[in-house]
Amino acid sequence: MPTLRLALSQVNPTVGDIAGNADLVRSWTRQAADAGAQLVLFPELMLTGYPVEDLVFRRSFVAASRAAVERLAADLAADGLGEVPVLVGYLDADGPPQVSGDAEAGRGARNAAALLHRGVVAARYFKHHLPNYGVFDEDRYFVPGDMLTVVRIAGVDVALTICEDLWQAGGPFAAAREAGVGLVVNINGSPYELNKDDIRLPLVRRRAAEANATIAYVNMIGGQDELVFEGDSMIVTADGELLTRAPQFVEHLLVHDVELPAATEPPAAETAAGLRVVRAALDGVPPTPTGPAAVGGLIEPVADEAEVWQALVLGLRDYVNKNRFPSVVLGLSGGIDSAVVAALAVDALGPDRVVGVSLPSQHSSEHSREDAADLAKRTGLDYRVEPIQPMVDGFLANLSLSGVAVENLQARVRGVILMALSNQEGHLVLTTGNKSELAVGYSTLYGDSVGGFNPVKDVWKTLIWRLAKWRNRDAERRGETAPIPENSIGKPPSAELSPGQLDSDSLPDYDVLDPILIGYVDGDLGRDGLVESGHDPAIVDKVLRLVDTAEYKRRQSAPGTKISMKAFGRDRRLPITNRWREHG
Residues forming the active site: 44, 127, 163
Whether residue 492 is preceded by a cis peptide bond, meaning omega within 30 degrees of 0, is no
| H/E element, 465 | helix 461-477
Main-chain dihedrals φ then ψ at residue 6, nearest 5 degrees: -100, 145
Neighbours of 149 (CB within 10 A): 22
DSSP string, 88-139: EEEEEESSS-TTSTT--TT-SEEEEEEEEETTEEEEEEE--S---STT--HH
Helix-helix angle 510-517:537-549, to 10 degrees: 70
| H/E element, 140 | helix 138-141
**CA 310, CA 228: separation in Å to the nearest integer?**
10
* Alpha-helical regions (H) of 493-536: 510-517, 527-532
* Alpha-helical regions (H) of 323-460: 336-349, 366-379, 389-396, 404-425, 435-440
Secondary-structure breakdown of the chain: helix, strand, coil percentages, each rounded to the nearest 5: 40, 20, 40
**CA 467, CA 563: separation in Å to the nearest integer?**
13
Q: What three-state secondary structure class fits 216?
A: strand
**CA 359, CA 465: separation in Å to the nearest integer?**
23
